[in-house]
Each structure stands twice: as structure tokens, then as C-alpha cells.
Amino acid sequence: MSSSESNSGRKPASKGKGKFGDNKSKRRESPSGGSSKKSFGGRSAAGKGGDRPYRKPGQRPTGPKKSAPKQSKDPSLIRLNRYIANSGVCSRREADTYIAAGNVTVNGTVISEMGYKVKPTDEVRFDGRLLNREKKEYVLLNKPKNFITTTSDEKGRRTVMELVTNASKARLLPVGRLDRNTTGLLLFTNDGDLTKKLTHPKHEVRKIYHVELNKNLTAADLRKIQEGLTLEDGPIEVDDVSYVQNAPKREVGIQIHSGKNRIVRRIFEHLGYDVVKLDRVVFAGLTKKDLPRGHWRNLTEQELINLKNIK
């Protein structure tokens, strides 16, 4: 047995098990001939400035304080990954991947730093495409009568905006128009690109209306509509028209893609009929299923995919 083990019958000192605060304890010789400091919990008690005093758990350090890096408290700042997610490109987690890969620029500079924050005035681009920080939202309304399709009215009439006021904090705008007395589907969104697509004539967005006339539609007039009419502003073609099944012949279903003003009413008025009721039941593949009159709902993920796939 070595002398260090036999001295006073003490057991060899082990790392982390010296007497706490025992300044009289001798230092063990290290294999290299130097000395090793006592440790607590397996961590050396020596730092750059030599021995540090032992602190009880929870005791605050008495040395000079180190200040943490300051971050801006500007409430208008937003994390870059959230900005990208709000723009509708991808999720926050996916945004972090794209940021790290160098797909994102802020004011022309590639940003790969996680946690980077941007200002509302910053120009953020994803693969060269300018992004809008506002999250894209899509709300479908089943419009009732006596509401005009406008954001405000000088005459104090009720507008469709009243019906979707609680749908979103974003500024949503109607896609297209419905007359005051026309009911049915009206889409609201802050997605300007989708609005342009759904209202541009070249995309021929499908709309189906349920029409109730003041009298029965004759078979001859039904054929005239099917073959196409020439109105005061030029020729008009319909995609389909037929009597509503199991209903009087004054009820007609008509499918069109034209976006001309009051086009459905003018088609029947041209042939001497008054439109008593006009209800848009399908718009760009969206339907009124499970959506009561005067109520709204958010589009489903699949509905949004279908809209964006319109050519």
C-alpha cells in the first residue's frame, strides 16, 4: 500500500469530493507534477482569474456583472421566419430551412441568421419574389339580400363588410361583386394575386346561378339562351342553362364565366322576363354546402389548392 493511502487511514481523495471550503486541504499532485484544484460537482473551481470563492446553490455572484446582448424592443419588428410564414409561402419551421439555405434576402442582402428580425419597411424576397408580411386569408360568405358589395357607402346603406367584420383582423376585400338583391357566394381575401386570377376573363372562372323568374321560361327562349344572345354591349355566350329539376319552369339554372355587370339579369330581361330571385350557388368550384345565409367560413386547405390550380 502506498504512503498516500496509509496516511491516517484516509481514503484517497476523489474528484469532486473534497471538503467544501476547506482552505487547509493540501493539493494532490497531478501526474504531470503540477497541482489540481479542488472541484465541486465535477467542475474545476479555477478560472482565468485563479481560484473563485465557493458559492452556495442559489447564491448570486459577487463579481462584476456581464450584460447580455441587447435586443431591440421595437414592437413593429417581426422574426423573419414568421414574416415568411405570414406571407403564405410555408410554415415557420420550413422558413428556417430556407433562410439557412440562403433563399431569403432582406433589402437585397442574403440573410441566413436564425432569429433575424425585420421592420415593416424592409423589402423581403423569397427566391427573388417580393413577399407581403400579412398572412393570406380566405373567407367565403353566403350573402343575404339588401347588402351592397362595397367597402363603404355614402348613402349609409348596409355593406357586405358588416357581415365579415369578425372573420379576420386583416383587411379583406370582396372578389368581384354581387348586386344588392342578389344572394349567394361571395369570396373575401387579402390575396391580390388570387383576386386578379378569379376576376380576369381569360381564366373563365365558373359561376352557377339559381334564377327565379316572374313567369315560366319557354322552351324557345331556353334554346335562344343556349345558342347565345347579342345584348347592347355585344354577344354573350352561356356555358349551360336548364330548368331546375322538380321545380316550376320559372326556375332556371344557368352557368356562365362572363364577368360583365348584371349579366344574368340582363340575359333574361332581354327576352322579356323579370328576375325575382337570383342566387349564386357555385363560384370557382366553391359551393354553399353547410353555409347558411348570412354566415361565413374559412376556406379549407383543399379548396385553396383548387383555386390556386385554376389555369
> Which residues are part of the catalytic machinery?
179
165 CB burial (10 A radius; 0-12, 13-18, 19+):
exposed
Asked whether 59 and 65 are in contact (CB, 8 A), the reply is no
What is the per-residue DSSP string for 177-213? ---TTEEEEEEEES-HHHHHHHH-GGG---EEEEEEE
Q: In the chain, what is the straight-line distance between the N-terminal and C-terminal CA atoms, in Å?
A: 90
Q: Measuring CA to CA, which residue among 59, 55, 13 is closest to residue 38?
A: 13
